[in-house]
Amino acid sequence: MKDYSLYIGGEDTAGTGHVHAVHTSLMLDDVLTAVSMKRRLDKGGELQPDDKVLSRCAMAGPDQLRAAAEAAHSAKPAWAAVPLERRLELIGRFHRELDRRIDEFTALLIAEGHPRRFADIEAMSILDSTGPEAVDFYRRQLVQEIETPQRRLAMVRKPDGVVGLTPPQNAATTNSAVGVPVLAAGNTLVLRAPQGCPTGTHFLYRELVAPLLDELGAPPGTLNIVTAPTALTLRHWIDSPLVDDIFYFGDSTRGIAIGQECVAAGTKPILELAGNDGLVVWRDADLTHAARALTESFIGSGQVCLVPKFGIVHPAVADELLERLRAEVERIRPSRPEDETAWLSPVMKSDNYFEFLREAVESGAQVLTGGHRCDLDGDPDEAGSFIAPTVLRVDGLEHADGVRAVREETFFPMLPVVVPEDPGDDEKLFSSVLDFLGANRYGLRNSLWARDPHIIDRFCSELSVGGLLKVNDSHIGTVAPLPAHGGTGLSGGPFGESNLPVVSTTHLQGISVANGDDPRESAYGLRQRPATRPA
């Protein structure tokens, strides 16, 4: 069992109590026993020899949250003054240390309930986004210099200061890794590890990042780690004059409201919210690869923001594509998260699943596969922890526009595939597809499978919705150094865009260093203005 204190001002600190995490496999074997054990331990009960506990993490109350913000505020001038190249070393050292301990890290993700295939993707995405190419890219975003005969000019991004980071419970550990470039940009950090799955986040920062900051000579308070309720933490950060940015992951309704509160309080909100990504398959696409890309919708049983949430397929290839997709999906079976083929996760929001399914079917959608709960063996079971991956066929863009399973974010294994009516004119059809994507209220990612350069160019040039556009590629895969986060609309709020943390938690400053010429000549130029003639 891992045992983590709070980490405040460079010291391990006691909290107000503890929260315990249990291995997901125990939840699958005997959920009542697992929940009962967790509740007993969280209330202060004694740990028994046969208790299967993943971690014990100290809980923070108002006093500890205040101390963490004060420590980060005290450290920010000294850390910001450390030369950029020294701070960027943090990312490279973190990359090497994580690579060295990657098996241990992946095992923790699996223990927290991430299917092995998803855990492997997550681990590799962090390594890709912290590698040498990514660091070089970050450097270019932070400093640009121009030499002229009279001056040395620079556009420099300066750190905002104290950043409060609260990752989402469904993928806390992986998303918390955005804090590493936030620190490298010169900010200090207060990191909230979610109560429901704190283990991996504590591991990543207490066992990897904190020692590396010590090696680099970072002042105490540069990094602070707390576990606390979301509402309590956010209330403190919004009300505190010491917190400059709040980096929030969560649902759109709550996130937009938090953004409004932040702006009213003079705090910068950085919002990572819900997604409803579209994947388009054109008539000339590689249908085998396109079908496999669509199956990424079911990674973690669809309980991941960055997977395809709906597809649109050209009517000329719809039947063939859907048959290939159905065959791929029916091979995806429930399993324990540690199994080599693990793909699915237990589903929490089953009521929403059946509500959306009923509405879609009543509106005319066809269920091609799935549509029921199942047990760990994949057999239908009304009390099962899993939901069979479900593919729907929805005919017509106009029809699809009124189907909630298409137009709203879903957080369960349901993939509606829209087949537009064929107008007999591909230019007109693709315009309709782009209009449909452009009307999406969400905007994390959109992707396209096509060979026609003209179609690809139109997709890339005309579609402005989304933080990331991908063509003929994995929808969920990382493509460092491009950002893996960020989006438009309800995915990022009114200021939403592709989110590079070294940019979003810094602000742009222009700098001009002149040779010391006469300021009047500098201001007015070498030529004198012509005398003003009387009218």
List residues with catalytic annotation: 272, 305
Q: Which residues contact 196 (CB under 8 A, 6 or more apart)?
A: 21, 169
Instruction: Count other C-beta atoms under 10 Å from residue 529's C-beta.
Output: 7
From the CB of residue 389, how many other CB atoms can be counted at a distance below 10 Å?
27
Of the candidates 309, 405, 329, 328, the residue with the CA atom closest to the CA atom of residue 366: 405
Q: What are phi and psi of 396, to 5 degrees?
A: 95, 130
- DSSP character string of 473-508: S-SSS--TTS-SEE-SGGGT-TT--EE-HHHHTEEE
Task: Give the C-alpha separation, 147 to 142, whole Å.
Answer: 17
Considering only CA atoms, which of 449, 343, 348 is closest in space to residue 389? 343
CA distance 500 to 19: 32
> What is the distance between the alpha carbons of residues 447 and 188, in angstroms, rounded to a whole number?
35
Query: β-pairing, 373-374 with 53-59?
Result: unpaired
**Cis peptide upstream of residue 481 (ω within 30 degrees of 0):** yes
Token pair 């994507």 is found at 437
Note whether 308 and 296 are within 8 A (CB): yes
465-480 CB burial, b ≥16 within 10 A, e <16: bbbbbbeeeebbebeb
